[in-house]
Amino acid sequence: MAPTRQTICCLETKGLSYTEQTMETPVQTNFKAPAISTAPISQLALGSLLLMLFLAAIETTILSTAMPKILLSLGSPELYPWAFAAFLIASTIATPFYGKFADAVGIRKCMFVAAALFLGGAALCGSAQTMPQLVAFRAIQGLGASGLMGLTMIAFGVLFTPEERGAKQSLVSLVWGISSLLGPLIGGLIVTYSSWRWIFWFNVPLGLLACAVFYAKFPHQARSERSFQMDWVGSLLLFSGLLLFMLNFSINHPIVWVGYPVSALLLAAFAWQQRSSSSPLIPLKHFQRPTFAVSVLLGFGASVTMFTALTYVPLYLQEVRHFSPTQAGFVLTPMMIAWPLMSTAAGLLMNRLRFRKLVVVGATLMALGFLCWALPDPGHPLWLIGLYSGKLGGGMGAIASVTIVAAQVSVPTHEVGAASGSINLFRNIGSTLGVNALGALQVRVMQQSNLPTSLQLVFQILLVISVVCVLVAVAMPALSPAQAARQAHS
């Protein structure tokens, strides 16, 4: 029998070192995918990862209730949207680079770089004296937040076996759900009882504590024997294409329409260049794997629907149905609660039910959730709208949990970072594309007709996207995480 090279990952509890060894083994039909040793991982190490993830995730929503006070202090109200856009653009652009470097130099080093950028940016934001300064410092914070969020998912993919990964990755979605609920509340409390600057400064002591625990408890990684080569041409094309693409959606001026074909050309050149690159940032070969390709498509579609719904459902409830802000919050609460709960349930059931059933259920729930808003409004009571909202959140939670695990286990162990970076990049692009493209359509239709008609059109498009997600979900291979990992290493 011809020998094959099998990578065996082992975690040493003494010395906390994570090593990769290669050995020659014969090909066998009962091949087992590479896995971390069964030695227990420090709960403090996991806690430090989740705390850093929480700090980064909450910064995406905490400003929503605080910006009016910040504008009173700093002025320049025309820069209001850029306080959010700068963070989002920077975090999106940095996503694939963290995945690449995590595979090459290890998670620990990348995490400290990300934490330094995030905490440094937070301290600078809290010290900003003008809105242009705040916008610039939010971009620095976004560069770090991208790493804290993406590297946490990568770390969970490296530390745990495929069988354990579903349950553990559900913790990531749980933290995301909690941060989404608490962000606006904490932001409102801070500006009510203290200075708005503490919205940023509170990150520093908590972040330093998380970094200290992470440094002491997170396993060390041995230096990879593979020589690291940076694809500078591909990096420049991807950076330029993504930056221009994101700026196109953030600048409301007719001249930006020229930027769309230019950004498309740059990204197409990047994709073409990746085919021949010896060290690609986004390995296109992964898309030849059905499990990975379906996961990316579902992640993209779910992000379009999720973030667009979070943007326009409150507007519909308050301006069309004339509910109070408190009542609108009541409707959104089931969505934000169902998301982490369903994500956790999907993670726990992943080994038993496998990928296909879970994503089909999730996409179906999304489609059912949009029926409430896409069809002509019969005047549903508040509790029934909340029930539809819960279906929407539950469906998205299931898809979010399953797709990240499916993407990670469908590639070889040493490419988990690149796979995670790819799916996170498409999720970020989906959220930006959905909110901005459908937002532009909504404004145009509203100018020609009225607000209710324009919002119903947006929801009808989201319903169609959800139905397409159901069809895509059916194409997901009916594999468990362990089966997908075996295929990736065969």
User: Does position 226 have pLDDT exceeding 60, yes or no?
Assistant: no
350 near 358, Cβ under 8 Å? yes
Half-sphere exposure of 362 (CA within 13 A, CB side): 41
Q: Write the pLDDT tens digit of every residue in 42-98.
A: 788 889 999 999 999 888 878 877 887 888 889 888 787 788 878 888 888 888 888
Q: Which CATH architecture has domain 38-223?
A: Up-down Bundle (1.20)
Predicted pLDDT at 18: 36
Of residues 329 and 114, which shows the higher confidence score? Answer: 114
CATH class, range 281-490: mainly alpha
User: Does position 255 have pLDDT exceeding 70, yes or no?
Assistant: no
Taking the CA atoms of residue 5, residue 11, residue 12 and residue 17 in that order, the dihedral angle to the nearest 10 degrees is 90
Do the domains 38-223 and 281-490 sit in the same CATH topology, yes or no? yes
Least confident of 6-10, 132-136, 356-360, 367-371: 6-10
- d(CA 325, CA 291) in angstroms, rounded, equals 41
Of residues 112 and 177, which shows the higher confidence score? Answer: 112
**Please, which pLDDT band fits residue 155 given cuts at 50, 70 and 90?**
confident
Return the DSSP state at 2: -
Predicted pLDDT at 45: 86
Counting residues of the chain whose pLDDT is more than 90, the rounded percentage is 28
**Please, which pLDDT band fits residue 15 given cuts at 50, 70 and 90?**
very low
User: Does position 23 have pLDDT exceeding 50, yes or no?
Assistant: no
∠ CA 27-489-487, rounded to 5°: 100
User: Does position 395 have pLDDT exceeding 90, yes or no?
Assistant: yes
User: Does position 371 have pLDDT exceeding 70, yes or no?
Assistant: yes
Residues 434-458 have a mean pLDDT of 84
- d(CA 405, CA 168) in angstroms, rounded, equals 10
Least confident of 55-69, 190-204, 363-377, 397-411: 55-69
User: Does position 385 have pLDDT exceeding 50, yes or no?
Assistant: yes
Q: For the chain, what are the domain ranges?
A: 38-223, 231-278, 281-490
Least confident of 189-203, 224-238, 296-310, 463-477: 224-238
Buried b (16+ CB within 10 A) or exposed e, 356-393: bbbbbbbbbbbbbbbebbbeeeeeeeeeebbbbbbbbb
- d(CA 121, CA 201) in angstroms, rounded, equals 10
Predicted pLDDT at 12: 33
- d(CA 15, CA 221) in angstroms, rounded, equals 11
Predicted pLDDT at 253: 58
Give the residue from 109, 107, 105, 112 showing the smallest Cα distance to 211.
112
Q: Write the pLDDT tens digit of every residue in 292-350.
A: 999 999 999 998 998 888 778 878 887 888 887 677 777 778 887 888 889 889 988 99
256 near 250, Cβ under 8 Å? no
The CA–CA distances, whole Å, from 68 to 82, 193, 250, 329, 370 equal 14, 15, 20, 19, 31
User: Does position 202 have pLDDT exceeding 50, yes or no?
Assistant: yes
Predicted pLDDT at 22: 33
User: Does position 257 have pLDDT exceeding 80, yes or no?
Assistant: no
The CA–CA distances, whole Å, from 44 to 41, 207, 211 equal 9, 14, 11
Predicted pLDDT at 225: 52
Return the DSSP state at 32: -
